[in-house]
A and B are shown apart, each in its own frame.
Chain A
Amino acid sequence: MSTLDPITLALVQNRLDHVARQMGWVMIRTSRSPIFNQSHDFSCFITDAAGTLVSQADGIPIHTGGGGFAVRALLGAFAGRIDEGDVFLLNDPYVAGGNHLPDWVIARPVFVQGKLVAFTCNRAHQSDIGGGAAGTYNPQATEIFHEGIRLPPLKLYERGQVRDDLWQLLMINTRTPHLLDGDLRAMIGSTRIGAEEVASTVRDLGIEAALANFEGILDHADRRLRAALAKLPDGVYRAEERFDNDCFEPKDIPLVATLTKTGERLTVDFTGTAPQIRGFKNSSVANTYSSVYAGIASFFDSDLPRNEGTFRCVDIIAPEGSIVNARPPAPMTMCTVFPAHEIMHMIWWALGQADPERSLAGWGKNSFPNASGRDANGMTWVMYNWGGNSGAGAAGARDGFNQMGPMITLGGLTIPNAETYEQLYPVKVRRHELRCDAAGPGKYRGGTGVTYEVDILTDAEYSFRAEGLTRPTGLGVRGGQSGALATITLTEKGKAPRQGPSYGIWRLKAARLTIESPGGGGVGDPLQREPARVLRDVRDGLVSPQVAARTYGVVIAADGRSVDQPATARRRAEKQPAQLVPPAPLTSVAT
C-alpha cells in the first residue's frame, strides 16, 4: 500500500466518488416516486469484486457502509455464475444481506477483459411491495411474511436480457406497479451508467493497478478513523435508549450500547439490549451495522470517508436474538428508523462522554402517520406526512434545526411543499408552523418541531408508527433539556377529535389530521444562553416570556423588544446555585 502513488490514489478516489454521485443524479431525475426524486431515500454505491464497499459518495446516512452485506450475499448465492450483462435484485434481510424489505438493491457486476472487478449498486426504498399495509410499513406485522415480498438474491437480467416472467411477478406483488416499474428502470439505468464509468476507470489504470488503488482507498479511510479515535481518551462509555412499546402494548424495552475505546480501536457492544420484540422494530445485522457507522461518521468530521475501510477498526457485538440482531421470522421493516435512531443516539451520547465538545443532543423521533387511499381511477396513493417531521437536537455551537427530515437521514430527506402535496393528493394543508415552547432548552436550544395540519378529503387508511407520544425523545445533553412530546389528533367530519395511537392502523372517512411534532434536545445549561438569543426566540414566538424567565432566567422588558438586563442578572444569579448541583448526566434519559 505504501507503494501506491499518492497522486493516482487521490485521482481514483475522486473518480469513484464522482461516479457514485453521478449514479445518484441519474436516479433523482429518472425515478417516478416522490420518495426518490423528492426525498432521496436511496443510495448509490460501488463495491470491489469481493463485495467490500469502496465508495458511497451518494446516499442517505442510514445506508452507510451496509451495502457490502447485499453484494456478499449474492456472491455467495451465485458464485461462479456471474456473467457480464447480469443485473441482480434482492431485499431479504435474513438471507440476502438486505437491511429491510422495502429497500431493494440492484447490483450490477462490472467486467473488464472478462474479469469481475466491481459492482455498481443502488439501494432504494420502494413505494409498495405488497404485505399487510399499503406503503411498505405494516405496524401490525408480527412476522416478516406480513411485510411484503421477500427476494433472495436473484437475476433480474441474465446476460443483458430482462427476465420478463420475474418482472411480472414483481409487478403483481405491489399495489403501485406504475411507480415500481419506472423506479426499477431508474435504478437499473443508474447502475448501468455507473458500471460504464467504473469499467473505464479500471481500463485506464490496468486491472491490477486499479484493484490495488481500490484497496488503497479502503486503507486511507481506515487511517482516517483511526486518527480520529486516537485523539479520544481510552475508556468505556455507556449509553441507553428505550422503546416504550412493542408496537402493540406499552412496555419498557431497553437498548444498551457499551463503547470501549482502546488506542485506535472501538468496540460497540449491544449486550444488555432487550430480546427481539413482537412488532416490527427489530433490526437486521446490515441495518445495525449501518446505524453504528452512521452514528460514528456523523459524530466526527463531515469529510470522513464512509466506505467499509473506515470501519475496519470498529468491532460490533450484536447479540443474536436481540432487537439489534433478530432471528427469523421477526418483522423488521421499521428498523431503518427505529431502532436506527436509538442506535445513532447511543453512539452519539457515548462518544460525547469521550469528547464533550462535540456533544450532540437527541433529535425528536418521527411521530406522524402515513395516509393512503384510492384515487378516482382506483389507483392507490400513499402520502408520507413528511411535513410532520421533528425538531433536531442542538450541536456544539448551533441550535437544533427547527424542522429536519428524519435523523437517520441527517435531514437529507427533503420536506415537501404543501402546495405540491395539494397537487398530488386529495388534501388541503392548513398549517405548517413552528411550535412554541417545544424546543429543548439549553445554551444551544433544540429545534422547535412543528404543528402540521392537513384535511384529508377522502376515505383513507392511517398507518401509525410514532415514538414520541409518551416520553420525550429529543433528549438534552450536558445540562440541556429535552424537547416536547408529540401529539397526533384525528378529527373526522362532524365527530369529536381523537388522539392517535403510537402504532396501529385506522380507517377513517374524510378527516383532519393534526400533528405536533416533537422538539429537539438542547446542549448546555439554558442559563448560559445569550440573552439576545432568548429575546429573539421570544420575539419570534418560539419561547414564551414565562419560559424565558423560568428556564432561561431572561426577563423580557415591558416593550417586548429588549432584555431587562438588571432583572435578568438577578434572576440568573438566583437560579445559578440550583443548577450547580450535580452536573446533569450525559445521557439524561427521561423518566
Chain B
Amino acid sequence: MTAEANWRIGVDVGGTFTDMILVDRRGDIRVVKVPTVPSDPAEGVMAAVGKAAAEIGVPVEGLLGDCALFVHGSTIATNTVLEGKGARVGMLTTEGFRDSLEIRRGQRDNPWDHRTPYPPVLVPRYLRLPVRGRVDRTGAEDAPLELADVDAAMRVFKDEGVEAIAVCLFNSYAGDGQEVAAARRAEAVGPTRWVSVSSAVAPIAGEYERGSTTVLNAYVAPRTVGYLQALNRRLEERGLKSPLLLIQNNGGAVTVEHVADRPATLLLSGPAAGVGALSYYAAAAGTSDLISMEIGGTSCDVILMTAGKVAFTSNLDIGGYACVLPSVEVHTIGAGGGTIARVDAAGMLQVGPQGAGARPGPACYGLGGTEPTITDAQVVLGRLKPGTYAGGAVAIDAALAARSIESKIAKPLGISVERAAAGIIRLMDQKLLQAVQRLSSERGHDPRRFTLVAAGGAGPLHGGTVARALGCRHVYLPRLSGAFCALGMLHSDVRHDYVRVHFIDLDRADPRGLETIFAALEREAIATLHSEGFVDGAARCERALDLRYVGQQWDITVPVGAAFDPATIRRDFDAEHDRLFGHIQPGGIIEITKARVTGVGRLPPLSPGAPPAAEGAARPTDRRKAWIDETSGWQDTAIYDGGGLAPGHRIEGPAIVNEQTTTLLVGRDDVLVVDKSGNYSIELGGVAE
C-alpha cells in the first residue's frame, strides 16, 4: 500500500457497463465507461484500464504502476447465486440432519404467497450425505466421528462430479474438532480443493443458517475466487504493485488472498460500498450522521450512519438463500426508475415492486415497454426532458410516456394524465420515506438529526420530498450520484470480522475466560492485518459482545472496552435496547451469546476535491413547466446545466439541474447550494427548526 503513488482506481462491473473511477492526489475525479464483457468480466476491466491510460496519456504499465489503491466492486458472487451458475456442491452433515438446508425452517418471505415454490435447493438431497459422530451443545464429544463415512461420501462426490464441498456438522459452533477433522479428510481424499467449513465460515448457533451460509460459500467459491485470482494476476503482470482489493459485506476492503476461503463475504459487495461513500461525503457535508438513499433503475438501498458508524446485521437473504455473515445493514426495496405502476382489479393505484428492468425498460424508452414506470411519470411531469441520454444509449419519448400513463392509470382512475403521474410519484416518495423510516425512526433514530444523502441516478429527483417528510433541513446530492458506490470503494478501510459463540450470563461471566477468547480472536486479526502490511498504528482491533435478555432470540451487538466491566456493558445494552424497542427489563438477566473482534487496517482516506469557485451568478440554460410537488403543483422552472455550476453558486427553487449521471429537482421554497467540494446541498424551506 504505497501511499506516495498517485492514482486510486475503483472499478464496478455492472450488467451493461463497467464503470471505472480514477481519483488523483488532489481528489479530482475522472469517470471511464466501457461495455461489460459478460463472458470474461476481466476483459472489460482491462479495457477500462486501457481506455483510462489512453485518456491520461500514459501506458497501462505507467498507470497501474503509479496506482496506490485498486478496488474492485464485483457482483460476481451475487450474480453467481442469482443466476444459478454456481458450483455443483456436495454437503457433509451429521447423521440425522441432512435436510435442514431443504426444510429452510419453513421460512418464506410472505406466508400468503403459498403458491410460489422455493428457489431450488443449492445441494440436492442425494449430495447431502450424513456422517456419524456428534458433539453436544458444550462442544464435548458425544459420539466419535466415523471417518469411513467421510470416505464413502467422497466416493459419491467423485462419481457425481462435485466441484465444491460444504461441511456443516451439528453443534460445530460449540466445538469444531469433528468438523475440522472431517474437512481435512475431505480435502485429502475428496475430488476438489474447494472445501468450505461451517465453523470457519459462519461459527454461529443454528444448523440451518450456518449450513446455508457454508453452502453459499462453497457454491460461489470456484467461479468467484477463480475469477478474482486471474484478474489479480493480470493486473500484476501489467504493473500493479499493490494487491487488488474487494469490498466485503461488512463494507471493508479485503485482498483476494484473504477472501479466498470466504467468498460469501462478497455477496453484498455492491451496496455495502455505500458505507465508504457515506464516510467520504461526511467530510464534505460536515456531519457524520447521514442516511443514504441510493436509487437506481430497479431498487433503492438505504444505509444509516450515526456518529460515523453504520449498523451491522447478520441476517442476509441472497436470492432467497439465508446468509448470516456480518454485513452492513442495507435496507433494500424494489423502488427505482423502472418500477412499474398499475391499477388493481378494484381501482387502487399500486407502485411496484415489479420493475421493467433494463429491457424493455420504461415505456418512454421506446424499446417495447408499455407499462408505466416512475421514469415515465417523471417525463410527464416535466422533470426529465425528452431526448437522448448517456451519450445516445437511451432516448426518451414523452408521447410514449404519456400514452402508457393515460391508458394504464389515468383512464381507469378517471383522472388526468398529469394527476396520475403526480400520484405515481407521491406513492413512490411514500415508499422511499417508509424505507428510510425502517432504518431510522423504527430503530429509535430521530431522522431530523440526519442529513439525507440522495444518490444513484434516480435519487436526486426524490431527495427533497423525502427529506422534507422526514423533517430534515438539508438533503445532500453528490454531483457523481450515479457513481456513488464506486467512489465509496476508494474510501474504505480493510476489515476482518471474527466471532466466537460463548453462552454465559453477563453477571456470572468469568472475565479471564472472556479475555482468553478476545485475545485469541485479536491475535488472529492482527496476524492477518500484519500479513497484509498493516503495522503499528495502521492496524487496530475492536471488541464487541452480542447480548440479549434471557429468552430473546435476537441479539444486540454492544461495543466493549479492553477491561471487562459488566456494569458498563449492562448500561450500554439497556440504553441500546431502550432506543431500539422502547423499553428495558430492569434487573433482567442479560446473556452473552457471542464475542466479536473486528480487525481494521487503516487505508489513507480519500479527500474531497476542491474545484475552483464560481465566478458570477449561475445562469439557467432553459425554462419549462414542471410539476414540483403536491403543494406547489406546476411551476415555471429554471433548468441548469450542472457543468456550469461551481462552489459558491446558490439557486433558488423551483429549479432542475441536469448532471452527467443524474438529474436534480429543487423545490419551490428550497435553495440549492454548491459546496466547496463541488457537490450539491438543498436547504429545505418551511421545515421547522
Contacts and interface: CB of A to CB of B under 8 A. Distances in A.
Interface string A201-228: 0000000000000000000111110111
Given A30-B581, A419-B170, A11 B96 contact: no
A69 B419 CA distance: 39
B423 A417 contact: no
Interface string B90-108: 0000011111101101111
A433 B115 contact: no
B60 interface: no
A428 B136 contact: yes
Nearest to A225: B346
A541 B346 contact: no
Contacts of A224: 344-346
Q: Which residue among A60, A185, A297 has the maximum number of chain B CB atoms within 10 Å of its CB?
A: A185
A220 B348 contact: yes
A338 to B, nearest CB: 19
Contacts of B112: 61, 297-298, 302, 306, 410
Contacts of A396: 115
Nearest to B209: A417
B631 interface: no
A132 interface: no
B583 interface: yes
B423 A6 contact: yes
Residue with the greatest number of chain B CB neighbours at <10 A, chosen from A6, A222, A410: A6
Nearest to B137: A422
Contacts of A536: 124
Nearest to A230: B345
A240 to B, nearest CB: 23
A2 to B, nearest CB: 9
Given A7-B426, A431-B96, A179 B137 contact: no
Interface in A383-416: 389, 392, 395-399, 401-405, 409-416
B459 to A, nearest CB: 20
B115 A223 contact: no
B347 A433 contact: no
A228 B419 CA distance: 28
A10 B427 contact: yes
A34 interface: yes
A399 B117 contact: yes
Contacts of A28: 554
B415 to A, nearest CB: 7
B97 A13 contact: no
B2 interface: no
A409 B124 contact: no
B29 to A, nearest CB: 38
Interface stretch (A14-22, A315-323, A327-335): A14-22
A574 interface: no
Interface in B330-353: 344-350
A497 interface: no
Residue of A28, A33, A303 contacting most chain B CB atoms (<10 Å): A303
Given A22-B442, A189-B581, A412 B111 contact: yes
B173 interface: yes
A18 B434 contact: yes
B553 interface: yes
Nearest to A403: B103
B106 A411 contact: yes
A29 B580 contact: yes
Contacts of A422: 136-137, 171
Contacts of B350: 10
A453 interface: yes
B51 interface: no
A563 interface: no
Contacts of B107: 414
Nearest to A428: B136
B552 interface: yes
B605 interface: no
A441 B313 CA distance: 41
Contacts of B349: 6-7, 10
A32 interface: yes
Contact of B553 (A37, A221, A409): A37
A555 interface: no
Interface in B392-436: 413-415, 419, 422-423, 426-427, 430-431, 434
A13 B585 CA distance: 35
A397 B415 CA distance: 39
B389 interface: no
B144 interface: no
Contacts of A418: 97, 100, 170, 207
Interface in A414-469: 414-420, 422-423, 428-434, 450, 453
Interface string A283-313: 0000000000000011000110010000000
A331 B96 CA distance: 39
A399 B114 CA distance: 11
Contacts of B551: 32-34, 178-179, 182
A542 interface: yes
A137 B459 CA distance: 53
A554 to B, nearest CB: 16
Nearest to A418: B207
Interface in A30-74: 30-34, 37-38, 60-61
B426 A417 contact: no
Contacts of A60: 111
Contacts of B414: 6
Nearest to A37: B553
B206 interface: yes
Contacts of B209: 417
Contacts of A413: 106
A193 B582 contact: yes
B126 interface: yes
Contacts of B552: 31-32, 37
Contact of B582 (A189, A228, A392): A189
Nearest to B171: A419
B275 interface: no
Interface in B80-135: 95-100, 102-103, 105-108, 110-118, 124-126
A571 to B, nearest CB: 23
Q: Kindly list the 5 A-B residue pairs having the minimum CB-CB distance in the complex, ordered from nearest.
A: A223-B346, A412-B111, A7-B423, A540-B125, A431-B96
Given A412-B108, A419-B171, A536-B124, 20 more contacts: A9-B348, A37-B553, A182-B549, A220-B346, A220-B348, A227-B346, A298-B112, A302-B113, A306-B112, A395-B115, A398-B116, A402-B102, A412-B111, A415-B105, A417-B207, A419-B173, A419-B206, A433-B98, A540-B125, A541-B126
26 contacts: A7-B349, A7-B423, A9-B348, A10-B350, A10-B423, A11-B426, A22-B442, A26-B581, A32-B552, A37-B552, A60-B111, A61-B111, A182-B585, A182-B588, A186-B581, A220-B346, A222-B346, A414-B105, A417-B105, A420-B553, A430-B96, A433-B98, A434-B125, A450-B103, A539-B125, A540-B126
